Copies of this chain bind each other. A is one copy, B any other.
Amino acid sequence: MSKLDEKKKKKREALFTAAFHLFNTKGIRQTSISDIAQEASVAKGTFYLYFKDKFDLRDKLIAEKASQILMQAADETRLDINRMDNKSLEDEIIELVDVILDRMEREPQLLRFITKNLSWGAFRHISIEDGERESMPFYDGYHRMIANSGRKIKNPDLMLFMIVELVSGCCYQVILHGQPVSLADLKGPLYQAIRGIIRDQEEAGEAGVENKKIRVAG
C-alpha cells in the first residue's frame, strides 16, 4: 500500500470515528457534515471526496460495525461452521447471542447506533471480512452451520429472522433503558424462547433427541 493510500485510509477512518462519535452523542439528525469534518480534523470539502453524503457514510459505517461485531463474536465463540463437535445448534446460536449481548452491554452506543439503523435487508448482506482470508457473507455461514448440524429446519431464513427480531428488539430496550428487566434477568427467558423457536422450526421426528440436550446459558 502506497503512502498516499495510507493517508487516504487514515482520513476515511478519521471520518468514520468522528461520525460514529457524533451520531451517538447528538444523533444523526443533529450532526452536520461540518461537525464531522471538524471532529475529523479535515476540511469540509474533503468529506465529499470520501462519501456522497451523511447517509452514505452512515450506511457504510453500519455495515462495518455490524461486520466487526459478528466477526468478533464468531471468533470469541470459536465458532467453527465446519465441525459441530458436541455442541448442539441451539447452544451454538445462543452462545453467539450471548457474546453479542455482553458486548452490547459494554458498548451501548454501538447498540443504539446499529439497532436504529440496521434493517433485515441490510443484515442479510453483511460480510464478515477478513484482511487475509476471503470475506464471506454471515448469512452463508449461518446456512452452512445449519447444514453441518445435521438438523432439518423447515425454514432457516424465517428462524433466523424471528430470532434476530426477538433478540434485537429485546436487547435494545433492556440494555439501553433497563426496562422491563435487567439484562441478566432477560437472558434466561430469552434463550429459552430461542430454543422454543428452533424446536418449533424443526421437522417433526428429529426434535425429540435434541431437546434432551437443552441447557440454558447465561
Residues of A that sit less than 8 Å from B by CB: 29, 90-91, 94-95, 97-98, 101, 119-121, 155, 157-159, 161-162, 164-166, 168-170, 173, 177, 179-181, 185-193, 195-197, 199-201, 214-218
Task: Determine whether the beta carbon of A120 is less than 8 Å from that of B157.
Answer: no
| Nearest CB in chain B: distance from A149 CB, A | 15
- Which B-chain residue is minimally distant from A173 (CB atoms)? B120
Which of B98, B196, B199 touches A217 (beta carbons < 8 Å)? B98
Is the Cβ of A187 less than 8 Å from the Cβ of B218? yes
Total copies of this chain within the assembly? 4
Known A200-B196, A217-B91, A218-B98: A162·B190 in contact at CB below 8 Å: yes
Cross-chain contact B218 with A94 (CB below 8 angstroms): yes
CB-CB < 8 A to A190: which residues of B?
A: 162
CA A185 to CA B157, docked complex, whole Å: 12
Task: For A187, give the chain B residue with the smallest CB separation.
Answer: B218
Residue from B90, B98, B181, B217 within 8 A of A94 (CB atoms): B217
Say whether B186 contacts A158, CB under 8 Å: yes
Q: What separation, in Å, do the CA atoms of A52 and B210 have in the docked complex?
A: 54
> Is A158 in contact with B179, judged by CB distance below 8 angstroms?
no
Provide the residues of chain B in CB contact with A169, threshold 8 Å.
Answer: 164-166, 168-169
A90 to B200: give the CA distance in the assembly, Å: 16
**A215–B177 CA distance with the chains assembled, in angstroms:** 27
